Every structure is written in C-alpha cells, then in structure tokens.
Chains A and B, each alone.
Chain A
Amino acid sequence: MSKLLEVKGLETRFFTQDGVVHAVNGISYHLDEGETLAIVGESGCGKSVGVMSLMRLIPQPPGKITGGQVWFGTGDDRKDLLKLTDDEIRQVRGNRIAMIFQDPMTSLNPVLTIGFQISEALMLHMGMDKAAARKRSVELLELVGIPRAADRLDDYPHQFSGGMRQRVMIAMGLSCNPQLLIADEPTTALDVTIQAQITDLVKRLRDDIGMAIIWITHDLGVVAGLADRVVVMYAGFIVEEAAVKDLYATPMHPYTIGLLGSLPRLDAARSHRLVSIEGLPPDLIDLPKGCPFYARCAYHIDQCATENPKLEPVATGHKAACWVDVTKAVPAKAKAGETR
C-alpha cells in the first residue's frame, strides 16, 4: 500500500485577544490508501483543528497554519496541500477529499432541497449537466440507504431525521468518488441504534469503494470496531500512535491508559471503581514547558516537568511520546482495580 496522505510537523495557532492558542503543535502522521485511521482525544485537544488545517478550512484571522507540510496523493500527483493556491485547493476539497461533520443539521443548508445540495458538487467538480446530476443524486441516496430516494430529492433538510441527514451528508461526501473521507465525530449527535446504522453503512461503503477514512472521535468504543490504526491526541500533540489491537491491548502512554481505564464497559464482569484521570487538561494559551500531561500523570518523573518527550517508536508500528516505560513503572496513585 502506498501512502495517500503524509502530514509532517503540522502546526496551527489562533491569535486571540487573550493570547496565542497553541491548538496543534507539530503533529506528524500518515495514511495509506484504503486505510481507516482514527484520531482520538477529548474536546480541545486539536483533533478537529488538525484535519481542518490540512483541508485549509481554518478561519484566518484569527487562525494560522504556522508550519508543516501536508503531502496528499500518490506518484506524480503528490502535492503539498499547504502550498496550493485557493483555486487549486478548491479542486481537491469535496472532490478528492470529502468531509462529513458532527452536526448534520447545521452542515446542510435549510433553504435548499437535498437534491440541489447533492447535485451542486456533481455539477461543479464532475461537470455534469442538471439531468445527469439528478440521476446520480438518486443513485447516491439509494447507496446510503434512503428509501424512496427519487421522491425525497425535492425534500428539505428539516423533513429528514438526524440519522437520515447524516446519510445525506455521506451521500454528498461520496458524490465525487473521493480518495479520502474525513469524518469529524459523525455519530456523536446520534442515538446509539442510529450510530450503529451509520458506522455499519460507512464500513460497507469503505469496503465497496475502497476509499481511505480519517475518523475523528472521542469515543474509544466506536474506534475499536472501525479503525485500522489509531492516533491519540492531547493538548495539540500526538501522544500515541498504534495499530488498533496494539493500542487497546498494550497502551504505552499514561493518557491512553487513563482513558481506557475511565471508560465504563458494557461487558464488564463486575462493577469496579473507575480509574479517573484527576485534574484538567492544560490551558492551550499557556502550555507547560515539559510534557503537557505531566500534571495529571500517574507515572511522571522529574524529567517530564522540564522536557516534552518526542513521539518515538516503542514497538513495531507503535509510537508513544513518554519518558517512562509504562510496562515497567508502577503508577503513583495505584487505585486501579479497587472494587466497590
């Protein structure tokens, strides 16, 4: 498999009245063709800003991409997205890279019909005429499982339920056969049975079409059944990267260990006390000098306060940014596994 996307040292800042927000702090990762990568983290960790930056969708001002490269494409087609002109990036966006967002209500235009909104991209990027675009729109709606697709083309977004709207968004995303689909918390606003419908649909489409996916989420449960590889972000840094099974079986960063421990599990044999991560994430305006997780970390040593560890390989295909070898160290607050 060849690399479809390679992000190198991407850095995004927001220049606000209160100071400079260090939203994304030099993240590097790659994505192979047809691969599904999950980016996991809590609110404000920079997971959305990271992908918005590579699509060049950061509002400027106050935002600015202050460094890094984003190589997209294969062979001769390979380009640095950050160096393209506005016209050139527009040819990539919605065409070769599609994006679906968290809230399907605010990302559809309420005063335009569903049919119009899907055909728009087809006419713009694929040069179709009205009739052809309409025909293709019906096919797309059928593909994502909307019943009576031809009739529903002239409906407005408010006539669709949340799950159906997200299906419409996916249909729009797929309209130009993208090589990469970026999904930003696409199931967070949906109920669990609808969430299962949507993840099922995305998996099926991925296998049929063979596109690569970046799935941004805070839900480690959804990731487990969907992703090939996972990137964990904290305070604008990537703290761990691993194949999905390795990450859950042997998490190597204390933050990942904390996240997995703080999840109540449906299949837990008996109730145990949850291992919570004490404290709060750092202020992105005033980041600590050392490791951003230092203050909340159960494994920290003196070095962590002064030096921020780099993302280094710890095993085959497994990287972590931590000074401590968590497999050997013992956490300071050893409350884990305490029964109720």
Chain B
Amino acid sequence: MSNNGREKLVQIRGLKMWFPITRGILQRHVADVKAVDGLNFDVYKGETLGLVGESGCGKSTTGRSILQLYRPTAGQVLFEDKNLVNMKGEDLRHMRRRMQMIFQDPYASLNPRMTVGSIVAEPLEVHSIGNRSERLNRVRELLAVVGLNPYFINRYPHEFSGGQRQRIGVARALAVNPSFIVCDEPISALDVSIQAQVINLLEDLQAQFGLTYLFIAHDLSVVRHISDRIAVMYLGKIMELADRDELYRNPMHPYSQALLSAVPIPDPVIEEKRQRIILEGDVPSPVNPPKGCHFCTRCPKVMDICKEQEPEFRDYGNGHQVACWLYQK
C-alpha cells in the first residue's frame, strides 16, 4: 500500500517524553528516564499503524503523549495540522472528542462502582452531548454495536468476563464518535479464543466508522494481522517503519530481524527448520541509554560507528524507513 496522496491525520515531529528523577528533600533533578526520545512518524487517515516493541521501550508512553495524557517534554503532535502540545483547557478538551483510547487491562480501566450504562455515558456527559434520554439511547446503540446485549445497561463491571469488559471499553471509546483511537495492548490480557473476538470487533468497527487506529502491542503476530503499517520501537526510538508485508518480507534493521525470528510460529514443521537470531543480554536502562545507536549493545552486526553516532531515520523507498548505519555508508 503506497502512502502517496493519502491524508495525514496525525503527524508526530521530534516527540520526546522524559520523566525526571529527583533526589533528596529539595527534589533535586538528577536524571531523566528517556522513555520516548525523539520520534518522527505520520498516521494516515483510515489506516492502522502498529507500534511494536518489548516492555519498557516506550510504546505506551508514545500513545499517551500523543493524546496529551502526558505533556511531552519536546516536539509536536499535529492532529489535522493543529499542534496539540501547545493547546490548553477548553481547546484541548474539544480536540479530545476526536481522539480516544482503549486500555490494556479491562479489569483496572473500568470503575467498579459505576454501571456499564454510566461508564459508556460518561464521555457524552463530559462533552455535554445530548440530553438524558438521547444519551441513554446512544448507550444502548453503542452496546449493541460492540456485541453486548443493551439489556446489560444497569450491570456492574464485575459481572462481565475479560472479553466483555474490553467490549465495554471499546463502547466507551466510541461514544463521542472519535476519528482516532489509540489501542494500548487491548488484547494482551485476554485468552487466545477471546482475543480473536476482540480483534474481529476492532476490524469491523474500523470498516463501519472509518476509524484510524494506533495499535500498540508486543505480540508481532497480532500486529501483523491487524496493521497496515508497522513501526518497531526500541528504547525510546523507532528503529524501522514499513508496510506490514514489506516489514515481514524484508526487515532491514537487525533488531526487527531478531524480533521477527524470535516469534514462534504455530506449526511444528516450520519451527523445525527455522533459524533463530538469539539476542544476547537485556535491554539497557532508558535513564542511561547507550551512546550512538540505542541497539548497539545487543546488535549482532554492530560496527564502530554505531557506538559513536546515532544513525539517521531514513526512507529507503516506498515508505520503508530505517535508522541503521548498515545502510548509510
């Protein structure tokens, strides 16, 4: 899928999100956790952009700082060409109607003391949409859309299973008719057979309402299934971004190659023949990331320059972008 002529919905420019570490009673600023350290990418209208990486690589922080749930340390987030980072108060609240989030943990993200009806109606109340009876009708309609019986409107979250709760979370996100939804690991807390139900639901809703997704997950098989394009993150940086099939067929960055080779495939005949690239060691701390390329401490193809200078994030044709010295000599 080429991106020529497609409309950009969200543009991220030099996004940084650093969390300060303080010491002592004076709260002296001693260091920063560089969770997100300079990202540049676009999300096109109607697409699903997958964001993958291992735990602690900053993928959730990216999603949250795009929605301004964290205020970024530096950079711009342009939503339909308006910079959200500078926005405050009423302006920002107004923009929030257009962007919603689905959370990972369907147990922690729903208030146990609220009924399903009031959970789904809350965004409508916050944004003063409709009167009471209109809101009630809208909630019924939303429950039906996500495959729950509207009859459940007065029940509490504990009466539902994990998969059903995630449907409630989806209904709440859809309530204000957003155009952009950040899905933060929406299925990783669910069992395999239930995961497929929620993935199918998200795909149906995208087709029905023309939604744009930023789909954050650590499971590459799921991301490959649902995404149009995939960005691979490592230690606060995007290492590679490409069309789904392109990334799978031709991963350029050594980290993407290792990540793809580590994913088990449910077929013993294929597994027998596969050669894995086993990475040594662990991910370094984001407080003190390595100099040069962030991946240089674990990279099987590391060169001298990788430890000195950071590679540029460059396009190698058809929107296949990579940050690696192997291709920049």
Contacts and interface: CB of A to CB of B under 8 A. Distances in A.
Interface of A: 42-43, 161, 163-164, 191-197, 199-200, 218-225, 244-245, 248-249, 258-268, 271, 273-278, 280, 340
Interface stretch (B36-44, B125-133, B150-158, B216-224): B216-224
Contacts, number: 130
For chain B, give the interface size range.
35 or more
Contacts of A262: 192-193, 195-196
A194 B282 contact: yes
B274 A274 contact: no
Interface of B: 54-55, 161, 163, 191-197, 199-200, 203, 218-222, 224-226, 248, 258-272, 274, 276, 278-279, 282
A39 to B, nearest CB: 15
B266 to A, nearest CB: 4
A195 B266 contact: no
A178 B127 CA distance: 63
Nearest to A189: B55
A196 B267 CA distance: 16
A340 B276 contact: no
A192 B222 CA distance: 13
Contacts of A191: 54-55, 218
21 contacts: A42-B192, A42-B193, A192-B262, A193-B258, A197-B279, A218-B192, A219-B264, A223-B266, A224-B266, A248-B268, A248-B269, A260-B266, A262-B193, A262-B196, A264-B225, A264-B226, A265-B221, A266-B221, A266-B263, A273-B200, A274-B199
B265 A224 contact: yes
Contacts of A280: 161, 163, 194
Contact of A271 (B191, B225, B268, B282): B225
A164 B195 CA distance: 29
Given A191-B218, A221-B266, A280-B161, 7 more contacts: A194-B282, A219-B264, A262-B192, A263-B221, A267-B267, A274-B225, A276-B193
Given A191-B55, A248-B266, A264-B225, A225 B196 contact: no
Contact of B265 (A42, A249, A265, A276): A265
Contacts of B266: 220-221, 223-224, 248, 260, 263, 265
